[in-house]
Structure 1
Amino acid sequence: MKPVAILQHETSQGPGVLLDHLRQRGICCALIAPCDEGSAPLHAHDYCGIVVLGSNHGANEQLRWIEQEHCLLQSALAGGVPVLGHCFGAQMLARAMGARVWRNPCANIGWSRVWVTPHAQARMDLPAQATLFNWHYDTFEIPQGATRTMYGSHCLNKGFVHGPHWAFQGHLEVTAQSVRNWCDEGEPELREAGGPAVQTRAQILAQLPMHINQLHQIAERTYSAWTAQLQRPRLFFMPKWGEARLALA
Structure 2
Amino acid sequence: MTGVRPVLVITHAPHEGPGLIAPGLDAPLRVRTVLDLEDARLPRLDEVSGVVVMGGPMDADDVSGHPGLAAERALLAAAVDADVPVLGVCLGMQLLALALGSHLHRRAATEIGFAPIDVLAEDEVLGALGTRPTVLHWHSDAVDLPPGATLLASTEATPVQAFRAGSALGLQFHPELDAGMLDLWLSTPDMVGELSAEDVDEIRSDGARHLPALLPSAEKMFAAFGELVRARG
Partner of 2:192: 187
Deviation at 1:51, TM superposition (A): 0.1
Structure 1 contact 101–138 (Cα < 8 Å) conserved:
yes
Partner of 2:22: 19
Question: Which range is displaced more, 63-72 or 114-123?
Answer: 114-123
Alpha-carbon separation, structure 2, partners of 1:13 and 1:36 = 16
Q: Judging changes above 3 Å, is the alpha-carbon distance between structure 1 residues 70 and 42 closer, same or farther for their aligned structure 2 residues?
A: farther
User: In the TM superposition, what whole-angstrom CA distance separates every residue of 1:131-173 from its partner, at most 9, and x where no partner exists?
Assistant: 1111111111111111111111221110000122000001111
Structure 1 contact 172–218 (Cα < 8 Å) conserved:
no
Partner of 1:238: none
Partner of 1:94: 97
Structure 2 contact 50–85 (Cα < 8 Å) conserved:
yes
TM-score (norm 2): 0.88
Partner of 2:58: 57
Structure 2 contact 125–224 (Cα < 8 Å) conserved:
no
Partner of 2:28: 28
Alpha-carbon separation, structure 2, partners of 1:204 and 1:8 = 23
User: In the TM superposition, what whole-angstrom CA distance separates every residue of 1:185-205 from its partner, at most 9, and x where no partner exists?
Assistant: 22322149xxxxxx8101100
Identity %: 25
Alpha-carbon separation, structure 1, partners of 2:125 and 2:167 = 15
Larger gyration radius, structure 1 or structure 2:
1
Q: Find out whether 1:212 has 2:211 as its counterpart.
A: yes
Q: Judging changes above 3 Å, is the alpha-carbon distance between structure 1 residues 68 and 122 closer, same or farther for their aligned structure 2 residues?
A: closer
Q: Judging changes above 3 Å, is the alpha-carbon distance between structure 1 residues 181 and 223 closer, same or farther for their aligned structure 2 residues?
A: same
Instruction: Figure out how many residues of one structure are paired with residues of the other and give that number.
Output: 225
Structure 2 contact 80–165 (Cα < 8 Å) conserved:
no
Structure 2 contact 94–143 (Cα < 8 Å) conserved:
yes
Alpha-carbon separation, structure 1, partners of 2:128 and 2:182 = 25
Deviation at 1:125, TM superposition (A): 3.5
Alpha-carbon separation, structure 1, partners of 2:56 and 2:45 = 20
Q: Which has the higher contact order (CA 8 A, sep 6+)?
A: 2
Equivalent in 107, 113, 120 of residue 110 of structure 1 = 113
Return the structure number with greater strand share. Answer: 1
Equivalent in 159, 170, 188 of residue 173 of structure 2 = 170
What stretches of structure 2 of length at least 5 have no aligned partner?
Answer: none
1:131-142 to structure 2, matched below 5 A, reads 131-142=134-145
Alpha-carbon separation, structure 2, partners of 1:180 and 1:169 = 20
